[in-house]
Chain A
């Protein structure tokens, strides 16, 4: 059950998202995260899906997505060297000693404090999923008020563009 990051270029048509999402639910595939946003080309959107499964299942997932008429291109980023990032915003309780602890943790993880009250912080952090998970562990559950994560996106390393 390896984790895979699948990056999809899809025609920017109404309903494109539901075609991909519907495929996952209809066929019982996992979705860990799903992101959608415009690209440098206004006619296309990029979707990034993080999923997991056996090699056979991942092969079927990529074939089934590719089969969608609106899908222009698909790359399984996990099969090449790539960079993955996720954005997270955390609202946490911060009083007395804990304020200093959290500040230090923030520095160590290169987080930014975006909002501050006498009793709380909103912290912004980007990185791989595992880094964000570690940060949350560092804060400890009872201080966390709310976590907002964007889901993972990624890009291939090197000069080669995906669109080429």
Chain B
């Protein structure tokens, strides 16, 4: 079969099993758009800004486990995509981003809409390719998918000069079945000796903690994590990126850890004697002050990326490998060791944890006349039966979503953790809904964040992706305002948004339903109404208490045991 470069691009996507490609046309990709027009295997989703394309593809990838695919033009198309590429990179999300480039003959001449896409994206991709020869196009695309989805996943950019896609130049096409890249051989199996050592250490623990992260979700190892944790009867905490891998409603789960983690999770970290870290990268939001991190613990760390190990915290037993494989091996060894579960040995530890838990660090004023954002999330959980896919933007609303929506399954909680990209939530929700047309999809956002990609409301109408936008409207860049309250004596420098649009009319102008809610008792009926309108995008503008803060909080330079609690929650010193 003889195909042009443009046709090869589209055929490769088809042969890779790609359902959706998120994109925006422009000069250098017009040949590819013409090839897309002439087929219907791969469905193109036209966004309204290239940042939206990358976030939508990202939301699709996070929720389905399949790679997200993006197509943008050269120059401004590529630079607009960079924020989304960097967002995916920081959270290790597999994306393949195809960017148009000016024809080979004029590369380097400051041609119209030329930019050095390879140079600009290099620090925020897992890898990138400039296709320099038509004969290498199919192989390069195959490699891009392979690299993006294996090992520690991440975004891969393929920059394609326009003349490579020339419809007049045809070559024989065959999509490679396999790839072998001699310089890229990600490790799957952990070292058996290290796994054995880790199991021996776990068996001696008296105050153990499991700290698991996004790697469990990326590696589809949720069930293996549940099996191991239940078998050991150890307490478990998860990072912001790990939520859902272990069910949040289970008794062994202590909540999220870190800066806005629960008292019981952070105290458990501080006092544990053995820490089992699984697919988590010891991020600064998680560790707090490094010199006070888990002062008495021996640490086991399972990660597929050797560079994640001993990067910020030195660990005692590193295991490089896929979570799934390593956890299965651990289970096999534990079963062979005739281990009966350590509930007896660690009952005192559990008693301390229950005392910490009894403080109820996430309690808030339930009798307020103002709408409490925490309560909105609880009601969302109730209305959706805990089954929704929830995306979020960045700020206080994101933390409340993480704290109060109890995710019981992986890939349901979709947020930008590493880069913290405002504007992520809405396009990501569209991507999620395309991947899960029957599911309830909510985007929890703030009035500042939503305005960063609000134009995607038009995309939501075009593809009838009925997502529910839940705008926790506190009138402030709440997270910024909170830091200013705590650290800058309440000098609210530029964190108040003086002019907000009428979101209800805005939603209506985009062809959606808008509902304003300003009384606590109206929240639930509004949520119920929104989810009843299955196929409609509904924008709930919920006016929440502007003075509310996210608690607990570990302020900069503090350790896990030095949390700032919500007013009214006291930490009895005897407990710590």
Contact = CB atoms under 8 A, between A and B. Distances in A.
A69 interface: yes
Interface stretch (B305-313, B341-349, B518-526, B556-564): B305-313
Interface of B: 118-119, 122-123, 126-127, 130, 132, 147, 181-184, 305-307, 310-311, 314
12 contacts: A14-B130, A19-B122, A56-B310, A66-B306, A67-B305, A67-B306, A67-B307, A69-B126, A69-B127, A69-B181, A69-B183, A70-B127
Interface stretch (A57-65, A83-91, A142-150): A57-65
Contact of B123 (A11, A22, A56): A22
A69 B307 contact: no
A95 interface: no
Contacts of A67: 305-307
Given A14-B130, A59-B310, A71 B183 contact: yes
Contacts of B119: 15, 18
Contacts of A59: 310
A70 B183 contact: yes
Contacts of A70: 127, 183
A72 B183 CA distance: 4
A59 to B, nearest CB: 7
Contacts of B147: 69
B246 to A, nearest CB: 28
A14 B305 contact: no
A63 B309 CA distance: 9
Q: Residue among B126, B147, B307 with the most chain A CB within 10 A?
A: B307
B122 A15 contact: yes
B126 A26 contact: no
A45 to B, nearest CB: 12
A46 to B, nearest CB: 14
Given A14-B132, A26-B123, A63-B306, A69 B311 contact: no
B320 to A, nearest CB: 10
Contacts of B307: 60, 63-64, 66-67
B183 A22 contact: no
Q: Residue among A19, A69, A70, A71 with the most chain B CB within 10 A?
A: A69
Nearest to B308: A63
- A-B pairs with the 7 shortest C-beta distances? A63-B307, A69-B127, A72-B183, A69-B184, A63-B306, A26-B123, A67-B307
Contacts of B311: 60
Given A14-B132, A67-B307, A56 B314 contact: yes
Given A63-B306, A69-B184, A71-B183, 15 more contacts: A11-B183, A14-B132, A18-B119, A19-B122, A22-B122, A26-B123, A56-B314, A60-B307, A60-B311, A66-B306, A69-B127, A69-B183, A70-B127, A70-B183, A72-B182
A14 B305 CA distance: 25
Nearest to A67: B307
Contacts of B306: 63, 66-67
A18 B130 CA distance: 14
A19 to B, nearest CB: 7
A58 B305 CA distance: 16
A66 B185 CA distance: 11
Nearest to A60: B311
Contacts of A64: 307
Contact of A15 (B118, B305, B314): B118
Nearest to B305: A67
A60 B282 CA distance: 14
A59 B123 CA distance: 20
Contacts of B182: 72
A112 to B, nearest CB: 39
A65 B101 CA distance: 28
A70 B184 CA distance: 7
Interface string A39-56: 000000000000000001
A60 B310 CA distance: 8
A9 B102 CA distance: 31
Contacts of A60: 307, 311
Contact of B130 (A15, A19, A69): A15
A26 B306 CA distance: 19
B59 to A, nearest CB: 25
A60 B312 CA distance: 10
Q: Residue among B127, B183, B310 with the most chain A CB within 10 A?
A: B183
B144 to A, nearest CB: 11
Nearest to B127: A69
